[in-house]
């Protein structure tokens, strides 16, 4: 018909007519590129025909419009709209921002495999979002958005940030955020409330992963799954952050861990095996509380008996931060738990008992090789104990010379006889030498002939008995006398201390050489 546009002259917009009042308003403002507010600009909670913008109409504008209806260079920006229908931009190449803030979507937007600048959905309400394999030169922002379904970003690459500050995910019992393999500059989840699983397996985050004040809840599964994820900045779990469910950091690599004790998941819900981090900031910095952190792991829940690597990693970080004693404490606990697990694998109960005794000995004497100076402490303890025992023996005259010549001499033998008695010595009656009430040892030491005999010294005698490599000479001249009261006890202790000295000396050598540590 004359005067009507030909098919070649028809605009794709003609197929969308009649337009809604909200769409007419948007077309009128295209040229100036203003932020288009529909109604009061707030998100509509109910279907409102005066704010309805059809997804097909938005797609027309987002993809560039036509000669008469070009979107502004800033992109398409709408706030306060009710978006009806499916906004399908799968595989699209879009060179402008998509800004649909404070909007209500009644279907899941689809941007799989799309190439965009920035996607801005702050404050919007969505039943989900499909962004798998998205490529964004900028970022994706869902600040304070409400999401009743899963947000999918697996395999996406963002040149900017993924911002979910204050977002509310109501996906209890199912996936809420899935971003496996994502590459992004930074992930912001400050103050977010997520009911459902948050999953970022093998993600690459060049900046921070900030969960300050976030509350993640998936009690029957993994509330936060960061298996093999790399965070080049910091992982922030503090400021009221809460994780109800499993926190899986298996194989993750994090530059700095910023956490506080209140953010730790419940016992049994922490996985740190093969997790690497370079520093701890903000949270507990002592071995006692950090061991309590590691104790929230339950390897048996995952079919394992023990994970040594988390303890080795914590000790490494403590050492790098100059906390050497805390590092040793962690390694000692690691050895203890590792040996407990090893004993549990032994099928023979007697063998388990023997291993347990050996482990206890290595623990108290060497700290399993991490505190070899403990063995020196034990040597000092037994040295002092020996001094007390041998000084007691001397005071009760339960010590005698350790020289056959002396023991057969008249100076010694006749000191065992009082002066008012005689004893036949070499067929000659010989009077005794001991004064009334004087012991044989006292009498002997009072003889002129004994003046050249080395004096007994309990300190040196104990040292000579305890250290097998020392040759002080006290043992060569003196020994306990079993014939006297307390003598048998002192003799028994003499042999016991000699054995202890050998054992502790060998353990000290093994401890300083590292031979007793688990491999």
- Bond into 18 cis (ω within 30): yes
| Rounded Cα–Cα distance for residues 147 and 154 (Å) | 17
| Rounded Cα–Cα distance for residues 480 and 394 (Å) | 9
Report the chain's mean pLDDT, rounded to a whole number: 90
Q: Is 338 a domain residue?
A: no
Domain count of the fold of the chain: 1
Cβ neighbours of residue 373 closer than 8 Å, sequence gap 6 or more: none
Q: Is 265 a domain residue?
A: no
On the question of pLDDT at 354 being above 90, the answer is: no
Count of CB atoms within 10 A of residue 237's CB?
27
Q: Is 251 a domain residue?
A: no
Q: What is the pLDDT of residue 34?
A: 62
Q: Convert the pLDDT of each residue in 427-443 to its tens digit.
A: 778 888 888 888 888 88
- Is residue 504 a contact partner of residue 382, using CB atoms and an 8 Å limit? yes
pLDDT band at 222 (very low <50, low <70, confident <90, very high): very high
Strand 119-120 versus strand 422-425 pairing type: unpaired
Q: Is 475 a domain residue?
A: yes
Q: Is 40 a domain residue?
A: no
- The closest alpha carbon to 318, from 282, 278, 283, 289, belongs to 278
On the question of pLDDT at 318 being above 60, the answer is: yes
Q: What is the pLDDT of residue 1?
A: 46
244 token code pair: 């109800």
Residue 436 exposure: Cα atoms within 13 Å on the Cβ side = 1
Query: What is the arithmetic mean of pLDDT over 69-75?
Result: 76
Q: Is 193 a domain residue?
A: no
- Is residue 180 a contact partner of residue 208, using CB atoms and an 8 Å limit? no
Q: Which domain holds residue 457?
A: 374-510
Q: What is the pLDDT of residue 362?
A: 82
Q: Is 220 a domain residue?
A: no
User: pTM of the entire structure?
Assistant: 0.81
Q: Is 386 a domain residue?
A: yes
Question: Strand, coil or helix: what is 494?
Answer: helix
Q: What is the pLDDT of residue 434?
A: 81
Give the H/E segment covering residue 69. Answer: none
| Rounded Cα–Cα distance for residues 17 and 8 (Å) | 17
- Is residue 207 a contact partner of residue 186, using CB atoms and an 8 Å limit? yes
On the question of pLDDT at 515 being above 80, the answer is: no
Check residue 18 and report its DSSP letter: S
On the question of pLDDT at 2 being above 80, the answer is: no
């Amino acid at each position: 018909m004359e005067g009507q546009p030909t098919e070649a002259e028809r605009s794709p917009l003609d197929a969308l007519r009649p337009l809604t009042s909200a769409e007419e308003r948007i077309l009128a403002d295209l040229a100036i590129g203003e932020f288009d507010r529909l109604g009061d600009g707030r998100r509509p909670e109910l279907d409102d025909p005066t704010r309805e913008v059809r997804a097909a109409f938005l797609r027309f504008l987002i993809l560039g419009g036509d000669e008469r209806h070009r979107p502004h260079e800033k992109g398409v920006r709408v706030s306060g709209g009710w978006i009806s229908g499916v906004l399908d931009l799968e595989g699209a190449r879009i060179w402008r921002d998509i800004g649909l803030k404070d909007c209500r979507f009644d279907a899941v937007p689809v941007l799989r495999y799309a190439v965009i600048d920035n996607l801005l959905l702050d404050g919007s309400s969505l039943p989900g979002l499909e962004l798998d394999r998205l490529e964004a030169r900028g970022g994706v922002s869902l600040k304070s958005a409400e999401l009743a379904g899963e947000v999918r970003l697996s395999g996406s690459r963002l040149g900017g940030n993924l911002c979910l500050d204050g977002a509310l995910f109501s996906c209890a019992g199912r996936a809420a955020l899935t971003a496996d393999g994502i590459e992004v500059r930074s992930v912001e989840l400050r103050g977010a409330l997520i009911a459902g699983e948050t999953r970022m397996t093998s993600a690459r985050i060049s900046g921070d992963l900030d969960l300050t004040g976030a509350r993640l809840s998936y009690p029957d599964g993994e509330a936060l799954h960061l298996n093999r994820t790399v965070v080049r900045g910091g992982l922030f779990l503090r400021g009221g952050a809460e994780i109800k469910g499993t926190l899986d950091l298996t194989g993750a690599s994090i530059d700095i861990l910023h956490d506080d004790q209140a953010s730790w998941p419940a016992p049994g819900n922490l996985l740190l095996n093969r997790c690497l981090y370079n520093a701890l900031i903000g949270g507990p910095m002592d071995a006692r509380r950090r061991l309590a952190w590691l104790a929230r792991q339950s390897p048996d829940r995952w079919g394992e008996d023990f994970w040594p690597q988390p303890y080795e990693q914590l000790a490494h970080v403590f050492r790098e931060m100059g906390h050497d004693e805390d590092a040793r404490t962690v390694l000692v606990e690691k050895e203890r738990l590792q040996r407990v697990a090893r004993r549990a694998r032994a099928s023979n109960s007697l063998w388990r008992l023997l291993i347990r005794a050996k482990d206890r000995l290595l623990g108290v004497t060497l700290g399993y090789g991490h505190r070899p100076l403990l063995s020196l402490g034990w040597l000092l303890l037994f040295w002092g104990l020996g001094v007390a025992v041998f000084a007691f023996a001397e005071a009760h005259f339960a010590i005698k010379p350790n020289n056959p010549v002396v023991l057969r001499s008249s100076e010694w033998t006749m000191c065992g006889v009082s002066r008012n008695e005689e004893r036949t010595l070499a067929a000659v009656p010989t009077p005794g030498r001991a004064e009334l009430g004087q012991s044989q040892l006292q009498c002997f030491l009072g003889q002129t002939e004994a003046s050249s005999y080395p004096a007994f010294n309990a300190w040196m005698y104990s040292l000579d008995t305890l250290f097998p490599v020392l040759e002080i000479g006290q043992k060569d001249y003196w020994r306990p006398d079993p014939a006297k009261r307390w003598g048998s006890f002192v003799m028994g202790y003499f042999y016991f201390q000699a054995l202890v000295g050998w054992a502790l000396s060998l353990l000290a050598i093994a401890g300083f050489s590292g031979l007793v540590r688990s491999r």
